[in-house]
Amino acid sequence: MLMGLFNDWVVILLMMIGLYIVIAHGNLIKKIIGLTIFQTSVFIFYISMANVEGATAPILADKVTLYSNPLPHVLILTAIVVGIATTALGLTLVVRIKEAYGSIEEQDIQHQDHLLSAEKEKGKQV
């Protein structure tokens, strides 16, 4: 049983590493990197599910009888491209945040937000 489920456990370990990077690090680019690791480990999970023992790639050929399952391949193909589209958009957001706030550490940004809201309240009272 251990060898049968080994792939799944390795993938879960990778996913947890990605999740940990997203939660525990304050730097925004590090968070995006953690998300990328998370995404790629989910792809590994799907593709390892699609594998059939003793089969070849799902391209029709004459002498082959057993093919790997093509449906997860299609899903992951879409997922990879969508993943990079969202990563690119996330990176541009980080660039703009850097221009607006001056830093990309989560705590600095929250600190500046607190200062801004405190000033606004003072302005309203006066």
Partner 1 sequence: MLVAVATIRMKDLFATIMLVGIYGLLSASFFVAMDAVDVAFTEAAVGAGISTLLMLVAITMTGRSENTTRHKPLLALVVVVITGGLLIYGTLDMPYFGAKDAPIHTHVAPRYINDSKQEIGVQNIVTSVLASYRAFDTLGEVVVIFTAGIGVLALLSVAHPARQNEKSDKIESYNDSMHKQHLVVRIVAKMLIPFILLFALYVQFHGDFGPGGGFQAGVIFAAAIILYTMLFGINTARRVINQSFIQLIAATGVLLYASVGVVSMLNGGNFLDYNVLSLNPIAGQHLGILLIELGVGCTVASVMTIIFFNLADRREMQLSIKKHRKKDKDSTPC
Q: Which residues ranging from 53 to 92 are in contact with partner 1 (CB under 8 A)?
A: 53, 55-61, 66-74, 76-78, 80-82, 84-89, 91-92
Between 20 and 119, whose beta carbon lies closer to partner 1? 20
Between 25 and 112, whose beta carbon lies closer to partner 1? 25
Question: Which residue from 33, 7, 6 is spatially nearest to 20, judged by alpha carbons?
Answer: 33
Regarding 13 and contact with partner 1 (CB under 8 A), the answer is yes
Sign of CA dihedral 77, 80, 85, 86: positive
Q: Which residue has the tokens 């309240």?
A: 121
Chain-centre distance for alpha carbon 39: 4
Regarding 118 and contact with partner 1 (CB under 8 A), the answer is no
Q: How far is the CB of 118 from partner 1 (least distance, A)?
A: 21
Chain-centre distance for alpha carbon 20: 12
CA distance 121 to 126: 9
Binding mask 18-57 for partner 1 (x = CB under 8 A): xxxx-xxxxxxxx-xxx-xx--xx-xx--xxxxxxx-xxx
Q: How far is the CB of 66 from partner 1 (least distance, A)?
A: 8
